Structure 1
Amino acid sequence: MAWIILIIAGLFEMLAVLMMNQWHRQKSKLSFSLMIASFALSFLFLSIALESIPMSMGYAIWTGIGAAGGAIIGIIFYNESKNAKRIFFLSLIILAVIGLKLLG
């Protein structure tokens, strides 16, 4: 169950990054409020997950989900670079997260 909670925390981290980008584009109160709420929920779920998962592994996986997810959102929704090197290194982040889970 802790792993599912950790994944939820990572998804809220991705949503927070998306809302951060949206807020910088529009400066709306809604996007700012959603950004703050998403970060708060992300930290809440992370802290719950870290009750059962070692901090070093949980934090690394949470960060990986947020980093890779944020980059993928940028590629899909904001037409950011899709060059092969970028995709390769994003794949490495995802593989590292999977590897940490398999070793844990």
Structure 2
Amino acid sequence: MTWVLLIAAGLLEVVGVAGMNMVSEQKNIRSWAILIGGFGLSFLFLSIAMMSLPVGTAYSVWTGIGTVGSALVGMIVYKEPRDAKRIFFICLIIAAVVGLKLVS
């Protein structure tokens, strides 16, 4: 259950980042709700997961999921560059997160 909460926290961080972009484009209550709700729930789930997981592992996995998710959303939704180098380094982040899960 702890890992499910941690993954959810990482995905909600991506929602918060998407909310940041929405707020920068259009400042309305919906955009702010997505921004605050995404980050708020993300931090809540992360803090619960950190009760059972080592702080370094939990934070690294949470950050990795958020980084990869935000990069993928940027490439898919906002048409950011999809060059091979960028995808290679995203794969390295995924490998590091999986490695941390395997040793924790």
- TM interval, shorter chain, is over 0.9
The 5 Å alignment of 1:72-83 reads 72-83=72-83
Amino acid at match of 1:88: F
Match of 2:32 in 1: 32
Match of 1:66 in 2: 66
Q: Cα distance, 1:25 vs. partner?
A: 1.2
Q: Cα distance, 1:37 vs. partner?
A: 1.2
Query: 2:34, 2:14 → 1: CA distance?
Result: 12
The 5 Å alignment of 1:45-56 reads 45-56=45-56
Matched, 1:93 2:98: no
Structure 2 unaligned blocks of 5 or more: none
Query: 2:36, 2:52 → 1: CA distance?
Result: 26
Aligned-partner SS, 1:32? helix
Q: Cα distance, 1:28 vs. partner?
A: 1.9
* CA RMSD between the two structures: 0.7
Taking structure 2 as the reference length, the TM-score comes to: 0.97
Amino acid at match of 2:17: V
Query: 2:9, 2:85 → 1: CA distance?
Result: 28
4+ residue runs over 6 A deviation: none
Structure 1 unaligned blocks of 5 or more: none
Amino acid at match of 1:95: A
- % same residue: 52
Amino acid at match of 1:22: M
Query: 1:25, 1:95 → 2: CA distance?
Result: 33
Q: Cα distance, 1:78 vs. partner?
A: 0.4
> What is the aligned residue count?
104
